Chains A and B, each alone.
Chain A
Amino acid sequence: MDYDLSKPQKMLQQSVREFCQRQCPLEKVREIMETETAHDPELWQGIADQGWIGLHLSEDHGGLGLGLVDLAVVAEELGRGCLPGPFLSTTWAATLLSKCGNENLASKYLPELCEGSKIATVACFEEEAGWAAEEYTTVKVTDSGEGVQLSGSKQLVGDAGVADLMIIAARGEMGLTLVLVETSADGVSIVATPGIDATRKLYEVKLDNVTGVVLATGAQARQALIESQQVGNVAVCAELVGSMQWMLETTVEYAKTRKQFDQIIGAFQAVQHKCADMLLDTESSRSAALYAAWALTEGTDDADRAVSIAKLFCADAAQRVGGNSIQAHGGIGFTWEHDLHLFYKRNKSNEFLFGDATFHREHVAQIAIGAA
């Protein structure tokens, strides 16, 4: 049994960390988040050139054929740098596209997504539906013989403003139907809905008789969607871990230099114990996130449970770590000037993405109680 990252994974970790520091330090993050879309094409191309988009996809589809632990390594570092832009959205969409069993469309679009020439996202969330695949109803599919037509609206769609492609979770005669549409198609309207995290923009997407291509339907669609959300959650958990790591290090550094009562505040136990709690939460989250990534890659029997446990634990831990970090900083931690709020806000948005802690606790309970 070996819980440690492999040598190549450690090298990957190092190169993503250096890339973020060099290409997108926090001053740059702030510049990008002030733009309309929080997307910097040059930065995006840089990430793509490193091969990190779709690195877990097969080489036939333009990926690197790596596993989800490698994806987690990349996502943790991107989280530590609070990197803005459509990495998660595109990773999710590309994963979903690869799991739909539509080889023609996969070979057509995945290489473009991996090389950075196209951006994609997935639209699930609706006014009355959350993250469970059974619930999507408002977008209706009708089949006219030449492709399908979609009407309805979706909320909280990440990076729709810069996406070229969008996969819509819709409902048709065959039940759940995943449909690929081009955002430039007639009848698509995209409205920005600013949220707590300015480094990653959310949109409402309205579809009025939009023509798209069916990727999968029914049970196959459901399975693909769930699996893609699991992969998405692995990336989100890793991002949360990276963000917690940044908060921990930043807080400890501050506690070593900030003086009050002629003492550095890190000498006070009230502050020390907050830092120790942050360490415990960060490391426990890392154990859970890495295990979920490994279990999902290996396809172990408990992979689904492992992902839910990682998500609920990381989401709650990130709240505690963020709270401790701001509190230990005192007034400066509450300012716009300090970078803490960038991470604090990103974490809140990530908490919700692919199901919040309450959602996943219920899922874990379901598995535990169901297993007689």
Chain B
Amino acid sequence: MDLNLTPDEQSFRDELRAWLKVNVPEEYDVQRGGEDSTEYWQYLRDWQKKLFDGGWAGVSWPKEFGGRGATPIQQSIFLQETIAAGAPEHLGVIGEGLVGPTIIVAGTEEQKAKYLPRILSGEDVWCQGFSEPNAGSDVAALGTKAVRDGDDWVVNGQKIWTSFAQGADLCLLLVRTDFEVPKHKGITALLVDMKSPGITRKPLRQMSGDSGFNELFFSDVRVPVADQLGPTNQGWKICITALMNERTNLGSSMFTFFDQAIDGLLEHARTRKRNGKLLSECPLKRQKIGQAVADLEVYRLNIARALSRLQRDSTPGPEGSMLKIYWSEMYQRLAQASMEILGDVSQLKEFDGGDWVYRYLRSKGSTIEGGTSEIQRCILAERVLGLPKSY
């Protein structure tokens, strides 16, 4: 057991830090347009291009596909350092984290050549069309249908909760191509050009007020068979590969986000007074602060342990479900405790720009997106503890 960074990991971090210091752009000025505006997307695309030119796009991808061949631990260092440096959000998160690795495993040579470089350079932004109104946790029950017509698939149906779809260029889409077989065996994966006629995008406003998610409607959308990923009716397996990647990725990038939230909380606790006393002098608030700090630290250690195991075993396992449950439920506890510590004023949108209200509301989605806490617990029960399938 040795939790110090190895010399390789250390030099990776130092090189990255030095690069970030020079290259992280100024924070985006929302006066220029909201988060769905073309300006904001261009700002994010510029950042992706900068990462690409600097050799920091696709750090975890194999070198032969233009990546850096980084280990899981280096990948985690990358995620934490970029957030700590105040870098913009990663527009390529779906393409780089999910679609690219899936194409590397399941794609044809032509598909690899056509799509992979454009993911890294930021020319293509991807979204992922899995969930449907009637296929949430039970994704395999999806009903968006594709029927073969000559060299095309003709797609009809609806997707929901697709992040980045408002401006995405391409979509990894799961469709039903066989209604006669058990649900897992009739699904096919398609790589769909979002400019295809017949696609309608509609932003989905969340309870937090923002609309990072979308609804997508497909009406007689023609997708060339050449853009099918993997064999017909084998899409479920492809979907599982993608989701495994999602569960391991989601976690590491969240640490710094929570760490910064706690720093902000502590700053208030040290300086704000209520009833003539500093917030930090109240024993009950101190208990909540101690718990929040401990929860986050144990999360950091859980990630480190999972990464260390991933480094040994190389494929992400169901343990990713543990991290997902941990961080999403911790996020809710942290948001709740923060407002209790800060008190009444924390409900105001002018207080810290509404950050605490945002966290309190946004965290409610975290135990649902990317597999609900209930589904994650079923996965742990079945695949780690060996209990029977219950659904």
Contacts and interface: CB of A to CB of B under 8 A. Distances in A.
A binds B: yes
Interface of A: 1-6, 9, 69, 252, 255-256, 264, 266-269, 271-273, 275-277, 279-280, 283-284, 287-288, 290-291, 294-295, 305-306, 308-309, 312-313, 358, 360-366, 368-369, 372
B297 interface: yes
Interface in B193-218: none
B150 interface: no
List the 4 closest pairs (A to B, CB-CB), nearest first.
A361-B290, A272-B381, A365-B290, A3-B308
A353 to B, nearest CB: 18
B289 interface: yes
Contact of B6 (A1, A273, A284, A369): A1
Contact of B290 (A273, A275, A306, A360): A360
Contact of A287 (B262, B269, B290, B302): B302
- Grouping DSSP codes into helix (H, G, I), strand (E, B) and loop, the A interface class, with mixed when no group exceeds half, is helix
A294 B3 contact: yes
- The bracket for how many chain B residues form the interface is 35 or more
Interface in B291-321: 291, 293-294, 297-298, 301-302, 304-305, 307-309, 312
Given A269-B374, A284-B326, A4 B293 contact: no
Nearest to B388: A267
Contact of B322 (A272, A279, A288): A279
B226 interface: no
B9 interface: yes
Contacts of B374: 269, 273
B387 A313 contact: no
Contacts of B2: 1-2, 294
Contact of A368 (B1, B9, B289, B301): B289
Interface string B367-391: 0000000101110111011111011
Contacts of A313: 294, 298
Given A4-B308, A287-B302, A361-B291, 5 more contacts: A272-B377, A273-B374, A275-B380, A279-B322, A365-B293
B385 to A, nearest CB: 5
B1 A279 contact: no
A312 B294 contact: yes
B325 A280 contact: yes
B294 A361 contact: yes
Contact of B304 (A3, A6, A358, A368): A3
A9 to B, nearest CB: 7
A249 to B, nearest CB: 9
Of A290, A366, A368, most buried by chain B (CB within 10 Å of CB) is A368
A287 B294 contact: no
Given A280-B322, A280-B325, A288 B301 contact: yes
B380 to A, nearest CB: 4
Nearest to A287: B301
22 contacts: A3-B304, A3-B308, A4-B1, A252-B385, A252-B386, A267-B387, A269-B390, A272-B382, A273-B377, A275-B387, A276-B376, A280-B322, A284-B301, A287-B301, A288-B301, A290-B1, A305-B297, A309-B298, A361-B291, A362-B283, A362-B286, A363-B290
Contact of B3 (A3, A252, A368): A3
Contacts of A368: 262, 266, 289-290, 293
Interface in B338-390: 374, 376-378, 380-382, 384-388, 390
A306 B300 CA distance: 12
A269 to B, nearest CB: 5
A167 B9 CA distance: 45
A291 B301 CA distance: 8
Given A284-B298, A284-B326, A362-B287, A264 B293 contact: no
A235 to B, nearest CB: 16
A66 B334 CA distance: 38
Nearest to B387: A266
B270 A276 contact: no
Contact of A2 (B280, B289, B308): B308
A356 to B, nearest CB: 12
A284 B302 contact: yes
B335 to A, nearest CB: 18
A283 B302 contact: yes
Nearest to B2: A2
B6 to A, nearest CB: 7
B5 to A, nearest CB: 6
B298 A2 contact: no
Contacts of A312: 290-291, 294
Contact of B289 (A266, A308, A358, A369): A369
B4 interface: yes
B73 interface: yes
Contacts of B387: 252, 255-256, 266-267, 271-272, 275
A256 B381 CA distance: 11
Given A4-B312, A268-B390, A269-B390, A279 B305 contact: no
A372 B271 CA distance: 10
A7 to B, nearest CB: 11
A123 to B, nearest CB: 28
A256 B309 CA distance: 27
Nearest to A371: B266
Nearest to B278: A369
Of A267, A276, A290, A309, most buried by chain B (CB within 10 Å of CB) is A276
Given A368-B293, A372-B270, A69 B1 contact: yes
B305 A287 contact: yes
Given A1-B3, A3-B304, A312-B290, A275 B390 contact: no
A158 B1 CA distance: 32
Contacts of A5: 1
Nearest to B283: A362
Contacts of B262: 368
Of A272, A277, A295, most buried by chain B (CB within 10 Å of CB) is A272
A1 B304 contact: yes
Contacts of B9: 1
Contacts of A364: 289-290, 293-294
Contacts of A309: 293-294, 297-298
A223 B293 CA distance: 25
Contacts of B376: 276
Contacts of A6: 1
A237 to B, nearest CB: 12
Nearest to B384: A279
Contact of B385 (A279, A365, A369): A279
A302 to B, nearest CB: 9
A369 B341 CA distance: 13
B307 A266 contact: no
Nearest to B376: A276
